[in-house]
């Protein structure tokens, strides 16, 4: 089995308060594009808006690696309006894709 990833393809960034992790994100780089893959946060991380800082640091790292496009995932204005506002504020482009049908 061969691995096809290169150094820097996975970018994991964490926020720590008093030695305790409070938030983390994982970005995956593929060529000149990247995907926001997953994240987690604690109540303290949410209150301190750690996720916003982590994503900004991730974007800075991707930019250093010549990445020009970041997929932040879906946009849900009903049950996740704060996240939607954040994504749109980052200059997100709303795209509608066809669904999967069986």
- The CA–CA distances, whole Å, from 86 to 2, 64, 81, 100 equal 38, 22, 9, 27
Instruction: Give the ranges where 1-98 is alpha helix by DSSP (H).
Output: 43-47, 50-64, 81-89
Convert the pLDDT of each residue in 20-78 to its tens digit.
999 999 999 999 999 999 999 999 999 999 988 999 999 999 999 999 999 888 888 88
d(CA 99, CA 102): 10
d(CA 102, CA 48): 43
pTM here?
Answer: 0.79
How confident is the model at residue 83, as a pLDDT? 78
Domains within the chain, CATH numbers bracketed: 10-89 (3.40.630.30)
How confident is the model at residue 2, as a pLDDT? 44
């Amino acid at each position: 089995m061969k691995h096809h990833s290169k150094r820097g393809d996975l970018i994991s960034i964490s926020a720590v308060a008093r030695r305790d992790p409070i938030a983390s994100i994982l970005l995956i780089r593929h060529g000149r594009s990247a995907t926001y893959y997953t994240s987690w946060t604690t109540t303290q991380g949410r209150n301190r808006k750690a996720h916003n800082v982590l994503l900004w640091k991730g974007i800075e790292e991707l930019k250093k690696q010549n990445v020009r496009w970041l997929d932040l995932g879906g946009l849900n204005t009903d049950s996740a309006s704060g996240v939607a506002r954040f994504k749109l504020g980052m200059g997100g482009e709303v795209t509608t894709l066809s669904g999967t049908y069986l």
